[in-house]
């Protein structure tokens, strides 16, 4: 029998009615007796039904809503959900190279599903509740999309927080790498050895815009497998890739060669050290992308992260040529758009350079944002131009 969990907090009740999908542990009556990942029906204090959710009594986010209806999260439930998601996603992106399921953003908390080249799927189950339901979810994926090989990249820090194993497993014959095309650029993706689900689809449109500004010497800082630099390589004189991961740098090279671009410089190095070396050598660039990993995933380290972003940006601003362009981004969910604006403003002042904001950057269309749930909005950035 599915147990009931009473939501006592008025603001939580209002948020749920708006479509917010999380309930916090101080907003419910009693979590005693619930197991991690167990299904529950949320009710108000009068006993009126609110939603079907799964619970984690040991987490600050103690319940995540799967549906506003009384449902059983079986194969049929996931089939219906997936069909609906696909119906709108296929109108905004090439489904074969996209984030098909973006967890809370698509109303499926904890579930991530990416499609690579229309050939291989990559999934993540980031909570105990999602992990418990992975068989039903994957069966529904097979029914709706077809019987594709799936790599399950259960390596996220969120899993550690939920005391779940951090592991990579496969279903079917998953290749080590897969070739996709994005913005007309061929990208070889290291599926098994790569980061996250294999690639960062969330920057698709930003990479395209980056390419539109390409000229002269281009710097792709925190390049991963080179998405930003590759989009600029056609028009640039040279593209310098910097990443601390050897696999990432190897794939930058492979991808440049694959596209017939010969102007690459590949630097496996800590980005801060690389910046110091560029400064020492008095090197400047016409176009720079700064796309660091999330500097914080917890409020406790937010202040330190803000300082980190400010230092990074200030230092990089001294590498921009006159008339040059910088794409600067942050994927830390806790650093919101306003905070990031302030960070960049301060960094501009302390760099002593004259930079103007000429555009904003956001997460790709398939990383859908749930209204009233700002937590689904995580990627933000600015396009800056040096005008002095």
Ligand X SMILES: C[S@@+](CC[C@H](N)C(=O)[O-])C[C@H]1O[C@@H](n2cnc3c(N)ncnc32)[C@H](O)[C@@H]1O
Smallest gap from residue 322 Cβ to ligand X (A): 25
| Intra-chain end-to-end CA distance of the chain, in Å | 69
Separation of alpha carbons 3 and 351, rounded Å:
57
Q: Based on the shown chain and the rule CB under 6 A, indicate whether residue 227 belongs to the binding site for ligand X.
A: yes
Q: Based on the shown chain and the rule CB under 6 A, indicate whether residue 25 belongs to the binding site for ligand X.
A: no
User: How many C-beta neighbours within 10 Å does residue 65 have?
Assistant: 20
Q: Which is nearer to ligand X, 134 or 254 (CB)?
A: 254
Smallest gap from residue 247 Cβ to ligand X (A): 8
Total residues in contact with ligand X, by rule CB under 6 A: 18
Q: Based on the shown chain and the rule CB under 6 A, indicate whether residue 203 belongs to the binding site for ligand X.
A: yes
The region of 5-13, 120-128, 220-228, 340-348 touching ligand X under the rule CB under 6 A is 220-228
Query: What residues are paired with 49 via a beta bridge?
Result: 43
Smallest gap from residue 72 Cβ to ligand X (A): 37
Q: Which is nearer to ligand X, 293 or 323 (CB)?
A: 293
Q: Which is nearer to ligand X, 152 or 248 (CB)?
A: 248
Separation of alpha carbons 60 and 11, rounded Å:
16
Q: Which is nearer to ligand X, 22 or 200 (CB)?
A: 200
Q: Based on the shown chain and the rule CB under 6 A, indicate whether residue 183 belongs to the binding site for ligand X.
A: no
**Region 243-262 residues binding ligand X, contact defined as CB under 6 A:** 243-245, 248
Q: Based on the shown chain and the rule CB under 6 A, indicate whether residue 228 belongs to the binding site for ligand X.
A: yes
Smallest gap from residue 196 Cβ to ligand X (A): 8
Q: Could you give the string, one character per residue 325-344, with x where binding to ligand X holds by CB under 6 A and - elsewhere?
A: ------x-------------
Q: Which is nearer to ligand X, 220 or 284 (CB)?
A: 220
Longest alpha-carbon distance in the chain: 70
Q: Based on the shown chain and the rule CB under 6 A, indicate whether residue 309 belongs to the binding site for ligand X.
A: no
Sheet holding 355-362, edge to edge: 264-268, 238-243, 217-221, 285-290, 320-330, 380-386, 355-362
Q: Which is nearer to ligand X, 144 or 168 (CB)?
A: 168
Q: Select from 293, 323, 352, 371 the one that contacts ligand X (CB under 6 A).
A: 293
| Positions that interact with ligand X (CB under 6 A) | 195, 200, 203, 222-224, 227-228, 243-245, 248, 270-271, 291-293, 331
């Amino acid at each position: 029998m599915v147990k009931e969990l009473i939501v006592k907090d008025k603001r939580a009740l209002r948020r749920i009615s708006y479509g917010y999908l999380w309930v916090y542990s101080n907003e419910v009556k009693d979590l005693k007796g619930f197991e991690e990942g167990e299904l529950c029906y949320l009710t108000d204090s009068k006993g009126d039904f609110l939603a079907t959710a799964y619970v984690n009594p040991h987490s600050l986010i103690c319940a995540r809503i799967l549906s506003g209806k009384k449902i059983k999260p079986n194969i049929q439930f996931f089939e219906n959900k997936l069909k609906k998601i696909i119906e709108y996603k296929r109108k905004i992106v090439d489904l074969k190279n996209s984030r098909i399921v973006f967890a809370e953003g698509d109303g499926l908390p904890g579930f991530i599903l990416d499609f690579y080249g229309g050939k291989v799927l990559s999934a993540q189950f980031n909570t105990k509740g999602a992990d418990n339901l992975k068989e039903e979810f994957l069966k529904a994926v097979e029914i709706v999309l077809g019987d594709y090989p799936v790599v399950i990249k259960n390596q996220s820090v969120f899993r550690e927080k939920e005391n779940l194993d951090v592991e990579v497993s496969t279903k079917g014959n998953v290749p080590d790498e897969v070739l996709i095309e994005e913005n007309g650029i061929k990208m070889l993706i290291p599926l098994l050895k790569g980061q996250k689900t294999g690639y960062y689809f969330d920057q698709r449109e930003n990479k395209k815009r980056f390419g539109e500004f390409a000229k002269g010497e281009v710097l792709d800082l925190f390049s991963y497998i080179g998405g930003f630099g590759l989009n600029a390589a056609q028009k640039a004189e040279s593209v310098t890739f910097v990443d601390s991961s050897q696999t990432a740098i190897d794939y930058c090279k492979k991808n440049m060669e694959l596209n017939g671009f010969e102007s690459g410089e590949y630097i496996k190095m800590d980005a801060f050290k690389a910046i110091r070396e560029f400064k020492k050598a008095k090197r400047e660039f016409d176009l720079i992308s700064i796309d660091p990993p999330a500097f914080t995933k917890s409020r406790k380290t937010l202040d330190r992260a803000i300082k980190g972003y400010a230092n990074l940006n200030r230092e990089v601003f001294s590498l921009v040529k006159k008339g040059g362009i910088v794409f600067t981004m942050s994927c830390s969910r806790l650093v919101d758009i306003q905070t990031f604006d302030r960070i960049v403003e301060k960094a501009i002042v302390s760099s002593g350079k004259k930079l103007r904001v000429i555009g904003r950057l956001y997460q790709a269309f398939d990383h859908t944002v749930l209204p009233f749930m700002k937590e689904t909005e995580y990627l933000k950035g600015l396009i800056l131009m040096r005008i002095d």
